Structure 1
Amino acid sequence: MKSMKSIALAMLSTLALGANAATNLVTNGSFEQTAQTNWNTYTSLPGWTGQPNVELRNNVSGTAQDGLNFVELDTNANSGITQTITATGLVELSFWYSARPGTSSSTNDLQVSFGNSFQTTVLQGVGNSTSTHNWQHFTQIVNLGNSGSAVLAFYARGASDSLGGSLDNISVTSVPEPETYAMLLAGLGVMGTIARRRKQKAA
């Protein structure tokens, strides 16, 4: 009986781990792998390729959502970043985006695309002060099919005036297939039935 309880606990732990401890498939999603004391423009960052470049900021003209660094996608003109993600099936895309503080909505459009199955434009709106970001969290379930990899891309689409929105804390995590949970729950049900029968025989 004790061994069955141990197995049940192990299966429940597996369910919890699958829901809460998924691995982030994005490299350098919070842009912390580059030492930065102010701000600078790069053609690439660890894991990311600039299109044609990207501006990395260390709590300048706003504060990072996660860690110290964040990126702005309007360097001298509208720009973007891309990264190829290795994954199949259902994944969850998560990122944080904010207007540059003190700017108008016309300069803060962000276009997001992921493979061939997802593309949208996020309009953040007006910055809420001269120094503070208004970070907003965006999530989307994306089906990557069986391709094996897909390009994740973020592009500035507002006024090309060197005053773009900010991006931080990007993640892509696999979403367990429903069949996985169904099999685990079915296994728990079978063990419960066996335990009841053993009790009945013992009585």
Structure 2
Amino acid sequence: MKTTKMIKSVIAAALLAAGSAYATPVVNLIQNGSFEDKTQANGTWDIYSGLDHWTAAAPTGVEVRHNVVGTAADGVNFVELDTYANSSITQAFQTVASQKYTLTFQFQNRDGVATSSQGLDVSWGGTTFASVDSLLYGNWETRSYTLIGNGTMQALTFSAHGSSDGLGTSLDNVSVTAAVPEPETYGMMLVGLAAIGFVARRRKAAK
């Protein structure tokens, strides 16, 4: 009897862990990650002092393009951070202490421009943790990184780092999501399934 109760407790814990892992939908914590807040006419570009939910460095701002020197990776707009000089954009959001987050974004070199003019730096909480450069042209590349929350508002910043000449790397489709469940969660699920099978076999043998 005690064994059965213990197994039931393990099953309940496993199912609860599994439910927690899969019941919560994946939400992008970055708002306006594809820069669609501006109604940019097809075939045009403009420099803005800021975008919805993004703070741009002053006075350089951020350049939004729609089918100009490339097409968007997501939606119709994308941005360049070397406007008439190197610039940056920042967005902050509330984090949970020790929570792992997955940052994903896409970038693309500008056709016909030397690699020395290209490239982006990425910083989290004021610390640069990645510099992305590419030898490819005309193709969007994807990068993913793991970020760790500290329980406060943390700032994510993208900065142009090539020659400050108005011709730089494009950025689009930025997202930050909570990391996938830890392996321990899947372990609990397997324990629960094994326990369910054990109980089923015992009941069948008892009949």
Q: Find 1:165's aligned residue among 165, 169, 174.
A: 169
Q: Which residue of 2 aligns with 1:84?
A: 92
**Would the aligned equivalents of 1:117 and 1:142 in 2 still touch at CA under 8 Å?**
no
Q: 41, 45, 69: which is aligned to 1:39?
A: 45
Whose radius of gyration is greater, 1 or 2? 2
Structure 2: give runs of 5+ residues left out of the alignment: 1-11
Mapped partners of 2:126, 2:87: distance in 1: 20
Mapped contact 2:15–2:192 kept (Cα < 8 A) = no
The number of equivalent residue pairs is: 189
Structure 1 portions without partners, runs of 5+ = 1-6, 128-132
1:110-125 paired onto structure 2 within 5 Å: 110-115=120-125, 119-125=129-135
- Say whether residues 1:194 and 2:199 are aligned partners: yes
CA distance in 1, matches of 2:189, 2:153: 28
Question: Compared with structure 1, are the counterparts of its residues 173 and 118 closer, same or farther at alpha carbon in structure 2 (3 Å cutoff)?
Answer: farther
Shift in CA distance, 12/99, structure 1 to aligned 2, threshold 3 Å: same
User: Which residue in 1 is equivalent to 2:113?
Assistant: 103
Change (3 A) 1:143 1:11: closer
Conserved 8 A contact 2:102-2:179: yes
Superposition TM-score, scaled by structure 2 size: 0.81
In 1: Cα distance, 2:74 partner to 2:104 partner: 13
- Residues 201 and 118 (structure 1), Cα distance of their counterparts in 2 relative to 1, 3 Å cut: farther
Q: Is the 8 A contact 1:113 1:153 kept in 2?
A: yes
What's the C-alpha RMSD, in Å, of the aligned pairs?
2.6
Distance change (3 Å), C-alpha of 1:118 and 1:184: farther
Q: Following the alignment from structure 2 to structure 1, what is the Cα–Cα distance between the partners of residues 101 and 174?
A: 13
Return the alpha-carbon distance in structure 1 between the equivalents of residues 155 and 189 of structure 2: 33
Deviation at 1:11, TM superposition (A): 8.0
